[in-house]
Amino acid sequence: MSKHFNIVVIGAGTGGIMAAAQIKNQRKDLSIAIVDPADTHYYQAAWTLVGAGTYDYEKTGRPMSSVIPSGCEWVKDFVTTIDADNNKVATKSSGELSYDYLVAAPGIQIDKDGIPGLKEGLEKGIVCSNYTDPKKVWENIQNFKGGNAIFTQPTTPIKCGGAPQKIMYLADDYWEKTGVKSKTKVVFPTPGSVIFGVPEFAKTLNQVIHRKGIHFKPFYAITKIDVEKKEVHFTNAKPGENDCTINEGEGLGERLDGNSTFVLPFDFLHMAPPQSAPDFIKNSPLSNGSAGGWIDVDINTLQHKKYPNVFALGDSAALPTAKTGAAIRKQAPVVAANVLAHMERSGLSDKKYEGYSSCPLVTGYGKMVLAEFKYDNVRDSDPFLSKFVDTTKENYSMWILKKFGLPFMYWNFMMKGKM
């Protein structure tokens, strides 16, 4: 069985829904199929708050049928292969879908097997992650009675690169209020070299970790979780550039195993799992062939470098910027405009994506830094908002934006293709 559409959209996450809605709003006559097997669409940006006990998990999800744009056909199925040379997408049980244009927004997949011990740790509840089960994170934060609390992330790109430290700041706040902080050492080992890539925001975050007494360990690349011993292993992410050293005065019980493995015991461990493009993207001609298998697009037009009738946005696109919903908000109008322009005159519009992304860095209950930036880690804060608020500083108003304003904007405007 085969069915033809003007546009096939892969993925009904933020990117797929926004792009489809914006195209449909401008050209109601087009036939658009959105392929996604999920029953529920989640506003994942709120999962950090769920993990800190300050947002209802049930409010982060809505039935997928409620967000599919009017006039689009929802193909509730899995994509198995992409034949871009013949403009076809194969599905698990719905047959082939042929297209004039393909918009790929399949999101990102979580690889629980990417680090030895991670899957076992998550299953046993010894390791927790806002990326997989934010309710379990909140449970573990409440049950924690002291010791080493480690928050870490992999060497792969991840959804919202700031998320692993946001939950750390909130947990630290909670333990301060409940009297557990005095018996706790909070540790942030990261394969990165700095707390945040944009200097203007890194300055504030360095003040936050200093104020909270958090042990920041750059160039720590996680290699293994020993679930039985409750230890996590790291290696130097940049040998020769930085020598990871054990500071006995920290009282963390850290030790050197062999010549290059640093071992930290833990009593609480939050882990952002390794992530990559979905397998069907990695194995497709759309992939750039890198370890993550990202979709090979022009970073400004979002058009595929080999297939001119293919565009991509969201977490699976090979773009050198943070993978966030805020980034997609700027990408979707570019994809919509370029698809329509190419459809009408085989050219592109004058719209360009300049790498904008935003990371609402929650630094505690009632505090947030709104980090907005573009390609090359250049600050790109909204000029209107900046007239009233210094978004490089911790603000209560930004916390209100995160908890109430952004979810409202998401469901009522972004999902309807209105922004």
Catalytic residue among 72, 128, 244, 359: 359
Longest Cα separation, the chain? 68
CB distance 88 to 95 below 8 Å:
no
User: Do residues 311 and 297 touch, judged by C-beta distance below 8 A?
Assistant: yes
Token digits for 257? 């195993």
Contact between 272 and 163 under an 8 Å Cβ cutoff? The reply is: yes
| Set 72, 128, 160, 244: catalytic member | 160
Beta bridge partners of 99: 5
Residue with tokens 């999101």: 107
SS3 state of residue 81? strand
Q: Nearest-CA neighbor of 335 among 184, 413, 319, 373? A: 319
- The alpha carbon torsion through 330, 380, 209, 54 (nearest 10 deg) reads -40
| CA 374/CA 295 separation, integer angstroms | 19
- Distance separating alpha carbons of residues 340 and 336, to the nearest angstrom: 6
Asked if residue 325 lies in contact with residue 419, where contact means CB atoms within 8 angstroms, the answer is no
**What contacts 163, CB < 8 A, 6 or more positions away?**
48, 130, 131, 272
What's the rounded Cα separation, in Å, for the pair 116 and 124?
14
DSSP three-state, residue 239: coil
**Residue 72 annotated as catalytic:** no
Nearest residue to 52 (alpha-carbon basis) of 181, 158, 165: 165
For the question of residue 244 being annotated catalytic, the response is: no
Residues classed as catalytic: 160, 359
